[in-house]
Amino acid sequence: MDWLGNDYPFSNTALAGKHAIVCGASKGIGAATAQMLAKAGARITAISRNPHDFVSTLEGEGHTGISLDLENQEAIDKFISSIEECHILINNAAGPPGGPLLDNTIEDFEAPFKRHLHAAHTLVKGMVPLMEAAGMGRIVNIISTSVREPIPNIGLSNTLRGAMASWAKSLSRELPPCITINNVLPGFTDTDRLGSLAKSINQRTGKSIDEIHHGWMSQVPIGRLIDPLETGAAIAYLCMPISSRIRGVSLAVDGGRMRSI
């Protein structure tokens, strides 16, 4: 399907006049989400650790790229003080390294929790007043299917994602009525992150990359990797005005891989 062509599922004015802040927007699912939101008419502030010209590829005008380290609390506070309007916040950041949980030290938890849970909480606290003033807010956290089914050999990531999901569910009971918060749980998606995970498994087990991919695909009823734009489309839907009744859910975009209900 041509997700950015004639088969694009949303009106290009559905989010006209809305400002979306997208974290981790330079590649992968973050970039695909920014594309989808821009296609729907939103003005994008694309956040990433390294400077990039990604915003020049987005449809529409008024987009901005910001270099921001989500582990730097002072930098996040400064960024928040510069924002005058926000309708949509996409919390997304690079996952921690793989490996058994027992191999991790307490110090290993610090950086991942800073750039995920701590940064997301700070951004939400900063953006909620702006969303409430605007009469509409959409917060979407890009996390993982490990929220429901822990994934072997990424114990630290499993722990972090579970904390994010519980945090979001708690907030869903506290946020003003005009603001929703939801999670999207990506499955095996065609991104650099998945490639890095395959290499890590290869180095640890000696299995070939092809064997690893075959093992993954044997678990997925659709029999293929998910295009990041497909995940971005699901995220964009949760940001639409029509999604106002969807609140506090964790939506899997995994091709049917998970066995849990």
CATH of the domain at 42: 3.40.50.720
Round to whole Å and give the CA distance between 200 and 152. Answer: 12
Residue 198 DSSP code: H
DSSP SS3 for 195 = helix
Assigned domain for 61 exists? yes
pLDDT tens for each residue of 115-167: 999 999 999 999 999 999 999 999 999 999 999 999 888 999 999 999 999 99
Round to whole Å and give the CA distance between 241 and 16. Answer: 11
Closest to 189 in 3D by CA, of 157, 143, 158: 143
10 or 251: which carries more pLDDT confidence?
A: 251
Classify strands 179-186 and 250-253 as parallel, antiparallel or unpaired.
Answer: parallel
Residue 21, CA atoms < 13 Å, CB-side half-sphere? 28
Same domain, 182 and 77: yes
Round to whole Å and give the CA distance between 149 and 162. Answer: 10
- Comparing 44-53, 142-151, 233-242, the range with the smallest average pLDDT is 44-53
pLDDT attached to residue 8: 65
Round to whole Å and give the CA distance between 55 and 149. Answer: 35
Sign of CA pseudo-dihedral 254, 86, 161, 35: positive
Total domains, the chain: 2
Vertex 245, ends 240 and 247: CA angle to 5°?
Answer: 90
Assigned domain for 10 exists? no
Same domain, 28 and 54: yes
pLDDT attached to residue 186: 95
pLDDT attached to residue 1: 46
Round to whole Å and give the CA distance between 248 and 165. Answer: 9
Sequence-ordered list of residues with C-beta below 8 angstroms from that of 23, at least 6 positions apart, any chain:
30, 47, 48, 70, 90, 91, 92, 93, 119, 123
Same domain, 199 and 236: no
pTM assigned to the model? 0.92
Round to whole Å and give the CA distance between 10 and 29. Answer: 18
Q: Is the pLDDT of residue 177 over 50?
A: yes
Query: What token pair was written down for 230?
Result: 């497909």
Same domain, 219 and 235: no
Same domain, 197 and 141: no
Does residue 197 contact residue 98 with C-beta atoms inside 8 Å? yes
**First-to-last CA distance in the chain?**
28
Edge-to-edge, what's the strand order for the sheet holding 137-142?
A: 64-67, 43-48, 19-22, 88-91, 137-142, 179-186, 250-253
Sign of CA pseudo-dihedral 202, 187, 151, 185: positive
pLDDT attached to residue 200: 73
Residue type, 74: E
Assigned domain for 5 exists? no
Same domain, 150 and 220: no
Cβ count within 10 A of residue 218:
8
Assigned domain for 12 exists? no
- Comparing 4-13, 20-29, 126-135, the range with the smallest average pLDDT is 4-13
Domain that holds residue 215: 191-225
Same domain, 120 and 202: no
What is the average pLDDT across 38-65? 90
Round to whole Å and give the CA distance between 98 and 93. Answer: 15
